[in-house]
Structure 1
Amino acid sequence: MSLAGKVALVTGAGTGIGQGIAIEMANRGARMALHYNRSEAGVLETKRRIDEAGGDSFIVRADVSNPQEIAAMVRHIESRAGDIDILVNNAAVQLNYDLFKHDGDTFDRMFDTNVKGYWQCIQAVIPGMKQKGTGRIILISSVHAKRPTDFDPVYAMTKGAIRMLGRESAIELAPYGITVNTIEPGAVDVGKYNLISPDDPDAEKKREARRKHQLEKFPLGRVGLPLDVAHLACFIASNESEYMTGSAIRLDGGSMLL
């Protein structure tokens, strides 16, 4: 699934899933615009890894809750690389607040980034995609679009809204050859699953407890990796997926079956 000749923008490319997608798309030949807002060290690491593998990338910064900053970012990408072929909306805020800890400010902050930011980025890239008569838009949601989180109800609400944004956008953009699909990952190891110190005298016992927990919660026996999400994102971004739009694909190792 080559992405050679494509220009791709991944938001939140400095950490976790966004970093994994950006690196893998670069490996498949895409010219990558690596977006970040606060994770400067992370996005520099993403670029370093792409550069080492011989890929082509450059860094852009914007607050995706701010439409003026998004517009400026897209203009910069277009002036440097041409119209965007692939948009991966990934940048998100996750506060892990319970129902009563949230207030109006935290609610707005999460929706402004996780939902409004996705919507505004879609709006910004559409003119170029319409002109080309093709485009791929990928939204990173979560299994919590379907299942309550039990750790942050507002986060779950944003993920449900992303799912519907993908469906509605797919209908409206289909006549222009632009597809919109959503990936709904389950638990993904972005570093927190590897925090047991090798010097911990109970390290082996803790690792065994973790393995047992994963076998109970994940039929495939492990949590996901950013690369798992990246592989699916690359397929959706490729020509092979041209007949798929409006889909929400659960990628959770079977955890939702239990």
Structure 2
Amino acid sequence: MPNKVAVVTGGSRGIGRAIVLALAGAGYQIAFSYVRDEVAAMALRDEVQGLGIDCLALQCDVSSSDSIKGFFERVDGHFQRVDLLVNNAGITRDGLLATMPARDIVEVIQTNLIGTLLCCQQVVPGMLRQRGGCIVNISSVAAQKPSKGQSNYAAAKGGVDALTRALAVELAPRNIRVNAVAPGIVKTEMSTALIGSQEEEIQSRLLIKRYAEPEEIAEAVLYIADRGLYLTGEVLPVNGGLKMP
């Protein structure tokens, strides 16, 4: 379909940036959100527009329902439709649960799980009217194979997996597919900060002895959106064969 419109949350850097560029390369018009890094967001917007693709870069904090609502209102005003939603925005606040501040529990679940749910809620009515659409949630290997100190993050991403399956059941009668991609360790700023002194231990658990490139996660998203048309309600692991400790 010409002029397909994709929305990517948290699209200015890392995995989100790779997803934006992959979708633009496939011909999608793009709207993506960012929280703070306006310079990176505008640079990416200009890069996409240089490909001849219409692109919106808008500030949005997915931990805020009002911010989400305002973001999607602007997207709808510009494009009048959404064919693909990629819920990529997320945060980590790792630490042992016994000493974890309550705000770290609330912020991680609010951003990663509730933010994803609210973004889905914003696009579903339009997709129902169109009788078609695709939602791809970015989950994590931590939902199934968490490391120590990830109780809040694993709980949030486990919720994303459950949301994916439940929403797929709900929306299938209107030709709307809902899936998730669960990356392992990806070479991004966020992952580098989290790995720290655990690198040797993490490497020992990988069957493919390297970390994923952001573009490899983007390719999985593009596959689900454009080619995996018989997939719904699935969580696709892209983790290099990560083993439990």
TM over 0.5: yes
Q: Does 1:253 align with 2:224?
A: no
CA distance in 2, matches of 1:146, 1:82: 37
Question: Displacement, 1:68?
Answer: 2.3
Change beyond 3 A, Cα 1:213–1:161: closer
Retained in 2: the 8 A contact 1:214–1:222?
Answer: no
- Secondary structure of the 1:255 match is coil
- What residue ranges of structure 1 are gaps of 5+ in the alignment? 196-209
Change beyond 3 A, Cα 1:233–1:149: same
What is the aligned counterpart of 1:25 among 23, 32, 38? 23
Question: 2:205 is matched with which residue?
Answer: 217
- Secondary structure of the 1:220 match is coil
Q: Does 1:227 align with 2:225?
A: no
User: Once the two structures are superposed, what CA deviation does each residue of 1:106-152 show, in whole Å capped at 9, x if it has no partner?
Assistant: 21111111000000000000111011100100000111110122132
Question: Displacement, 1:193?
Answer: 7.8
CA distance in 1, matches of 2:242, 2:214: 17
Retained in 2: the 8 A contact 1:12–1:36?
Answer: yes
Question: 2:114 is matched with which residue?
Answer: 116
Retained in 2: the 8 A contact 1:7–1:84?
Answer: yes
Moved more, 178-187 or 45-54: 45-54
The letter for the 2-side match of 1:227 is E
Question: 2:127 is matched with which residue?
Answer: 129
Change beyond 3 A, Cα 1:58–1:107: same
- Secondary structure of the 2:155 match is helix
CA distance in 1, matches of 2:199, 2:108: 33
Instruction: State the percentage of identical aligned residues.
Output: 30
Moved more, 89-98 or 213-222: 213-222
Question: Displacement, 1:220?
Answer: 2.4
Retained in 1: the 8 A contact 2:205–2:244?
Answer: no
Retained in 1: the 8 A contact 2:185–2:191?
Answer: no
Moved more, 53-62 or 125-134: 53-62
CA distance in 1, matches of 2:121, 2:32: 19
Retained in 2: the 8 A contact 1:214–1:221?
Answer: no
The letter for the 1-side match of 2:105 is F
Residue correspondence of structure 1 range 23-172 to structure 2 within 5 A: 23-172=21-170
Retained in 1: the 8 A contact 2:145–2:244?
Answer: no
Retained in 2: the 8 A contact 1:134–1:177?
Answer: yes
CA distance in 1, matches of 2:105, 2:191: 28
Question: Displacement, 1:70?
Answer: 1.4
TM-score for both structures, normalised by structure 2: 0.90
Change beyond 3 A, Cα 1:112–1:215: closer
Q: Which has the larger radius of gyration?
A: 1
- Secondary structure of the 2:207 match is coil
Retained in 1: the 8 A contact 2:142–2:150?
Answer: no
- What residue ranges of structure 2 are gaps of 5+ in the alignment? none
The letter for the 2-side match of 1:82 is Q
Question: Displacement, 1:189?
Answer: 0.2
Question: 1:207 is matched with which residue?
Answer: none
How many corresponding residue pairs?
241
- Secondary structure of the 1:246 match is coil
CA distance in 2, matches of 1:149, 1:135: 34
Question: Displacement, 1:45?
Answer: 3.0
